[in-house]
């Protein structure tokens, strides 16, 4: 797997240099650093759809997650988001959250509904409340540009219940939590690696090689196994008559040996939980006067472009 950052980018050295610079300024200014008043300050305060319910104790400063300060991005954060390797590995998003949400102590464990809130708040704190969006009309193909008001998008937030049970039978009930950043990154990275492995095989042996079908089946098997592992990671407990199972190995073994209809129930419920939080659907109307078609589209949270300064004043 490629490194998250290229070898020329030494973040530790940059932090060290920054600290040395601040120390030098302090030596010249006995009363303190006169630049401290110009450091970043919170641009927004947000509450979280999960209220931090699925994070270990101590990983979020505000217990109920009702008033989390969000800082605007630094230049270093923007540089990190331009690195494909750092984005692919999830490292760029982790560092962005560390920088802009200091109350969050374990970025990898942030739930996906909460992550959307943080990304939207960071975007608003950095580039303003309005964001320009472009969308092609599905009827006439005209490219349209319109403004999205980010606080209004944040206001669509729905809360995630702290307990999310799924009854599989009269005797079996499981309790789920949403995917977190680690889960989502692991699945995306594994899918990319498997696609690259298959492409390498085809480049070396050709698409007519009889072994290609075997390679495809192995890829499907590895991804299916990973999917079950991530599903197991999202199960908090399994309640059966006379027992409440929280052991990860036992839960994993249960998923690998249960029937497909139960897996389908679990996946359906998990998707419902992950889709809570911000409603990313917005109303659009074609600006072509001969068309005027109206439709609904989704705000894309692609970190590679979402934080570009395309604000609308």
pLDDT digits 0-9 by tens, 58-74: 888 755 557 899 999 99
Identify the residue with better confidence: 271 or 14.
Answer: 271
Indicate whether 151 belongs to any domain: yes
Indicate whether 152 belongs to any domain: yes
Indicate whether 228 belongs to any domain: no
Q: Distance (Å, rounded) from C-alpha 276 to C-alpha 199?
A: 36
Single out the residue of 123, 182, 97 nearest to residue 312, CA to CA: 123
pLDDT digits 0-9 by tens, 41-63: 888 899 999 998 998 888 887 55
**Helices and strands per DSSP (H, E), number in the chain:** 11, 10
pLDDT of residue 31: 55
Single out the residue of 240, 241, 235, 239 nearest to residue 266, CA to CA: 235
Indicate whether 16 belongs to any domain: no
What sign results for the dihedral spanned by CA atoms 181, 64, 43, 59? negative
Indicate whether 230 belongs to any domain: no
pLDDT of residue 122: 94
Q: Which residue do the tokens 């696609």 mark? A: 195
Q: How many domains does the chain have?
A: 1
Q: Residue 16: is it exposed, middle or buried by C-beta count within 10 angstroms (0-12/13-18/19+)?
A: exposed
Indicate whether 90 belongs to any domain: yes
Single out the residue of 128, 146, 150, 129 nearest to residue 137, CA to CA: 146
Indicate whether 168 belongs to any domain: no
Q: Where are the alpha helices (DSSP H) in 208-296?
A: 212-233, 248-256, 260-274
Q: What is the DSSP letter of 65?
A: -
Report the interhelical angle of 112-127 vs 91-100 (nearest 10°). Answer: 60
Task: Give, in order, the Cα–Cα distances in Å from 96 to each of 80, 102, 279.
Answer: 8, 10, 23
Q: Flag whether the pTM goes above 0.75.
A: yes
What sign results for the dihedral spanned by CA atoms 5, 9, 10, 11? negative
Indicate whether 217 belongs to any domain: no
Q: Strands of 95-140 (E only): list them.
A: 130-136
Instruction: Write phi, then psi, for 44 (nearest 5 degrees).
Output: -150, 160
Q: Distance (Å, rounded) from C-alpha 77 to C-alpha 100?
A: 9
Collapsed DSSP state (helix, strand, coil) of residue 89: helix
205, two tokens:
């042996």
- Domain residue limits at 153: 26-160+292-306
pLDDT digits 0-9 by tens, 86-136: 888 889 999 999 999 999 999 999 999 999 999 999 999 999 999 888 889
pLDDT digits 0-9 by tens, 197-246: 888 888 888 888 888 888 889 888 988 899 999 999 999 999 999 999 99
């Amino acid at each position: 797997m490629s490194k998250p950052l290229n070898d020329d980018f030494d973040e530790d050295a940059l932090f060290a240099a920054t600290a040395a610079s601040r120390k030098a300024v302090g030596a010249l200014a006995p009363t303190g650093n006169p630049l401290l008043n110009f450091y970043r300050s919170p641009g927004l305060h947000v509450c979280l759809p999960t209220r931090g319910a699925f994070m270990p104790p101590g990983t979020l400063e505000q217990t109920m997650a009702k008033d989390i300060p969000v800082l605007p991005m630094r230049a270093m954060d923007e540089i990190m988001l331009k690195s494909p390797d750092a984005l692919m590995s999830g490292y760029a998003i982790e560092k962005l959250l560390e920088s802009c949400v200091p109350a969050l102590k374990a970025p990898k464990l942030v739930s996906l509904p909460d992550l959307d809130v943080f990304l939207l708040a960071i975007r608003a704190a950095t580039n303003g409340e309005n964001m320009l969006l472009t969308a092609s009309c599905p009827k006439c193909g005209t490219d349209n540009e319109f403004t999205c008001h980010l606080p209004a998008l944040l206001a669509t937030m729905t809360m995630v219940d702290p307990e999310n049970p799924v009854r599989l039978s009269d005797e079996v009930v499981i309790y789920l939590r949403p995917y977190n950043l680690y889960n989502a990154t692991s699945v995306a990275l594994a899918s990319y690696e498997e696609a690259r492995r298959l492409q390498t095989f085809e480049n070396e042996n050709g698409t007519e090689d009889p072994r290609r079908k075997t390679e495809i089946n192995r890829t499907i098997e590895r991804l299916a196994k990973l999917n079950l592992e991530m599903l197991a990671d999202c199960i908090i407990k399994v309640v059966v008559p006379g027992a409440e199972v929280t052991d990860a190995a036992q839960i994993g073994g249960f998923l690998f040996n249960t029937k497909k209809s139960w897996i389908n129930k679990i996946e359906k419920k998990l998707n419902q939980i992950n889709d809570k939080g911000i409603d990313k659907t917005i109303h659009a109307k074609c600006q072509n006067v001969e068309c005027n078609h109206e439709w609904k589209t989704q705000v894309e949270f692609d970190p590679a472009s979402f934080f570009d300064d395309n604000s609308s004043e």
